[in-house]
Chains A and B, each alone.
Chain A
Amino acid sequence: MALSNCMKALYTLIASGTYPVSVGLRRAGDSTPMIVYEVSQVDIDCLMIGGDAGHYTISVTADCVADTSLLAWTVASDLVDVFSGVYVDNAEDIKLVLSGVNATARTETPDDGQSDAERVVSVTLTILGKEI
């Protein structure tokens, strides 16, 4: 359960920022700016005896989508800011801390034949999580 608790705590933390958040997909018609994130990998520390030690290294790729480049970077900055210090989620019994960040920017055009091009800042976060 601790792994799923970790994912709930992660969503709660990311969604605590200023901008709307979606996991994995962005539906047509969703307004911008918004954050679309995906957990790309979780490394789970295991005990010698076998099983989950309750410590996770989580890689998250978050696309910060906006109409302008500056706003996309503002969304990315807001996302990084929610990870200030150690986040303690007492409901899920999880602590999260950000241990690494990198970002790239690009332009995307929705393939619907009518939307304008969008700016996307893709932020890759390395987050350490542990059971309390």
Chain B
Amino acid sequence: MSTLKADEIANQAGSGDVNFPNGGATFGGNVTTTGTLNANAITANSITLGSYTDLTRPTSGNVIGTIIWNTTQTEVQVWDGTQWAPLNNPYTDVDATSVEVFWDGAADQVDGNVWKSKRSHPNVSNANCTMVNNPSYSPVVPGGDGSIGYWSFNGSNQYGWINDLNYGSSGSHGPQNNGRLYEFVCICWFRTSYGSANSGGSYDFDNWSWFDWDRSEAIGWNIGAHGKLQFAGDSNVTCCYDVTGNTTLNDGQWHFGAVVVSASNGYIKFYADGQPDGTRNNSFSYFGQGSRRWGFIGDGSEASSNNGGRNGIYYDGDIAQLGLISEFWDDAKVLDHYTRTKSRFGI
């Protein structure tokens, strides 16, 4: 193999570009340039991506991770193996294997007055939530990355009923399809300024509910007028716990609330914006001991069928993402979901 050794390689004219017309170049070390450069290690004044339109960008033969500048969309796109995707690729899912229901506020998840369940229990065709009395849907959370919108509830008559999903005695759903929830997590991205912040306030029966399958029969997940996260339910041991988190969150800003209800750990543990917000130790094996109930968003449930009886309390505020996950989440898992989704809210 021939080897050319030289300290400098220059154009024969003394200055100007040297051409490598019949192949590329492989560098075993660093390259420094004052111009534009593509190589293993780069120090360059600028990098310029190749420009393509929607029509001219290559549709096959791309290496995964290839990035281009799309002049039609005016954005950087990356080849993900099957398509050109925006570099901004927000996390719109939930990292869980056992999901009872998960709603995301992205515009493609809303059809008229129906909030479509992005994921739902395998035994229901869907757990869509049909809104009643016209809560309004905004496709974009202002200040966020544009990937998520939200529902606004007026606190006086607006709510939505959840299709088919039911819990309680002889209920159909839950991980064992018996209406019981053993290890589960309730999550919600929300914004409300209802009530008055009161860190000393006890569980109250106001501003119900983010979702609810009847506090005194199955479970209810909401924020009280004091502004603290609230959970209650009917377990195999007792009803209704009526526990709250520590931090008031009714400040008109977007927050992520979560509560982990764990039979194995014997606690109901709240999280505010990804951080632990109070642990309430209790013993139980499962929730869903009471009568079979169907669920609502924006009001409390007394329903023995789809869109049945309600409490008429009503939630005043906004909801962008909501879910009931039938598995245990530790601190890191809750924080992970918050961290992966917060940029959608400009946080």
A-B interaction: no
